[in-house]
């Protein structure tokens, strides 16, 4: 499975806040072009983000669901872009001093993508994973969190 890691200079809670904001999904997921809806309770297991993948007018309407979650530590998703396939995406957050080590693991588990050899998956998905981690870093470190009131 392709695996990429990045040290993000903020707390796991701030990084997880980006992942827990379903409306920010298209901001950090490379290829997601629009979020249409987010289930109440996101990111609880089983909740979904309804999104579009790809450019207009060729976009695909699909969804991503939460497979497993440990708040502030791990989020595992089933990301669909059918008929291309389904990817299992896991983000692990580990505190490191005043930062967070984020590891993104990606595996094509259904559809035509699952027949792509792992070495080719790594070559194709590695740069995408690096860019997704860079985007999460930018959002987690630089955005102002809404006041909880």
| pLDDT for position 145 | 56
pLDDT at 136 over 90: yes
pTM given for the model = 0.89
**C-alpha closest to that of 18 among 72, 79, 76:** 72
Domains detected in the chain:
3-142 (3.30.530.20)
Q: What percent of the chain has pLDDT over 90?
A: 62
- b/e map of 90-105 (b: 16 or more CB within 10 Å)? bbbbeeeeebbbbbbb
- Cβ proximity of 61 and 77 under 8 Å: no
- Cβ proximity of 8 and 140 under 8 Å: yes
What distance in Å separates the CA atoms of residue 86 and residue 110, rounded to the nearest whole number?
5
| pLDDT for position 116 | 77
């Amino acid at each position: 499975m392709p695996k990429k890691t990045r040290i993000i200079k903020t707390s796991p809670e701030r990084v997880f806040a980006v992942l827990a904001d379903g409306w920010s999904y298209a901001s950090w997921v490379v290829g997601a072009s629009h979020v249409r809806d987010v289930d109440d309770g996101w990111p609880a297991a089983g909740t979904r983000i309804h999104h579009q993948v790809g450019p207009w007018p060729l976009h695909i309407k699909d969804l991503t669901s939460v497979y497993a979650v440990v708040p502030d530590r791990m989020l595992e998703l089933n990301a669909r872009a059918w008929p291309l396939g389904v990817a299992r995406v896991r983000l692990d957050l580990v505190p490191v001093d005043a930062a967070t080590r984020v590891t993104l693991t990606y595996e094509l588990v259904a559809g035509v993508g699952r027949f792509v050899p792992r070495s080719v998956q790594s070559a194709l998905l590695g740069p995408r994973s690096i860019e997704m981690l860079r985007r999460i870093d930018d959002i987690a470190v630089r955005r102002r969190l809404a006041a909880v009131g």
